[in-house]
Amino acid sequence: MITREMFNGLDRDAIQNMMGADLSEFQATIATVETDEELKKLEEELMEVMKANDAVIAQTAYELPADCTSYNQNFTRRTIADIIADFITSVEYEYQYIPGLLGLVKVWKDKNLVNIPYGAYDSTLRVLNQQKYRGYNNWVNICAVNEFLSACHAEYVRDTAYLIYLADRHNIIMDQQKALHPEEQPVEQGVM
């Protein structure tokens, strides 16, 4: 099984290649498992690894750079953080997302912000990637934000890839469990 640390220093393609090879091998191994007991044991072992990784991720924070330069302009950490908070609050959202977004804005408005927790970094990328930007100033600002956040991106890719890798291993186990008990699977009805 791959460990999170094995992804250190690797680019996205190398990580994907390592994951793909390992998952293919794991799938071939799991396909030979013929009892629920064996699958349950493998799932329990994997769940322990997942819980340990979740604890690591809960404590993971990325150090933000003090400043960045984009389009011949200098931006401080505080300026970028304010730009991000403004971008987050400039879009309409459904009510169900507002409490989480308020928490995210609070992170970026923290005057002592030096490190960004994994969850806030991940949510920020997802929110900013859903938006559209209009006008030269916003374009420069989002490019500066991208440049600023790229300092943490390799670590983020490593951590996210490992979460996906563990979930994929779990899905392989679950698929084999379904294969062992096809009679327990819901019958899908056709569409008329």
- Distance, in Å, from the CA atom of 124 to the CA atom of 10, rounded to the nearest integer, reads 23
Average per-residue pLDDT for the chain: 93
- Distance, in Å, from the CA atom of 78 to the CA atom of 49, rounded to the nearest integer, reads 37
pTM recorded for the entire structure: 0.87
- Distance, in Å, from the CA atom of 192 to the CA atom of 168, rounded to the nearest integer, reads 33
Look up residue 32 and give its DSSP letter.
T
Domain boundaries, the chain: 39-176
- Distance, in Å, from the CA atom of 87 to the CA atom of 145, rounded to the nearest integer, reads 10
Long-range contacts, 86-89 (Cβ 8 Å, 24+): 87/127, 87/128, 87/131, 87/141, 87/142, 87/145, 88/124, 88/127, 88/128
Reported as a single tens digit per residue, the pLDDT across 94-117 is 999 999 999 999 999 999 999 999
Poorest-confidence range of 79-83, 107-111, 188-192?
A: 188-192
What's the whole-number mean pLDDT along residues 58-69?
A: 95
Reported as a single tens digit per residue, the pLDDT across 22-56 is 999 999 999 998 899 999 999 999 999 999 999 99
Percentage of the residues of the chain whose pLDDT score is greater than 70: 95
Give the pLDDT confidence score for residue 126 in this predicted structure: 95
Confidence of residue 189 (pLDDT cuts 50, 70, 90): low
Assess contact for 89 and 109: CB atoms under 8 A.
no
Confidence of residue 181 (pLDDT cuts 50, 70, 90): confident
Give the pLDDT confidence score for residue 191 in this predicted structure: 62
pLDDT of 169 strictly over 60: yes
Reported as a single tens digit per residue, the pLDDT across 110-136 is 999 999 999 999 999 999 999 999 999
Confidence of residue 64 (pLDDT cuts 50, 70, 90): very high
